[in-house]
Amino acid sequence: MRASAPAADADLVAQLQLGSEAAFRILVARYQDRIYQTVLALLRSPEEAEDVAQEVFVEVYQTVARFRGEAAFSTWLYRLATSRALKNRRQARAKKRFAYLTSLLGFDNDVLHEVPDHAHPLALLEGQQQLRLLLDHVARLPDAQQVAFTLRHEQELSYEEIAAVLSTSVAAVESLLFRARQTLRKHLPPSFRHA
**Each residue's pLDDT tens digit in the chain (195 positions)?**
445 567 899 999 999 999 999 999 999 999 999 999 999 999 988 999 999 999 999 999 999 999 988 889 999 999 999 999 998 887 766 555 545 434 433 444 443 334 444 444 544 444 567 777 788 888 899 999 999 998 998 888 999 999 999 999 999 999 999 999 999 889 888 766 544
Report how far residue 143's alpha carbon sits from residue 190's, in angstroms, rounded to the nearest whole number: 25
| CATH 1.10.10.10 residue spans of the chain | 119-195
pLDDT at residue number 139:
87
At the top level of CATH, the class of 119-195 is mainly alpha
Check residue 118 and give its pLDDT. Answer: 47
Q: State the pLDDT at residue 90.
A: 78
The pLDDT of residue 128 is: 65
Distance CA 5, CA 127 (A): 39
- Please list, in sequence order, all residues whose beta carbon lies within 8 angstroms of the beta carbon of residue 41, skipping any fewer than 6 positions away: 120, 135, 138, 150, 154
Where does the chain hold its CATH 1.10.1740.10 domain(s)?
1-91
Q: Are 42 and 86 in contact (CB under 8 A)?
A: yes
How far does the chain reach from its first CA to its final CA, in angstroms?
Answer: 47
Per-residue model confidence (pLDDT) at position 105: 39
Q: How many CA atoms lie within 13 A of 13 on its CB side?
A: 20
Other CB atoms within a 10 A radius of the CB of residue 100 amount to 13
CATH number, span 1-91: 1.10.1740.10
Write down the pLDDT at residue 188: 83
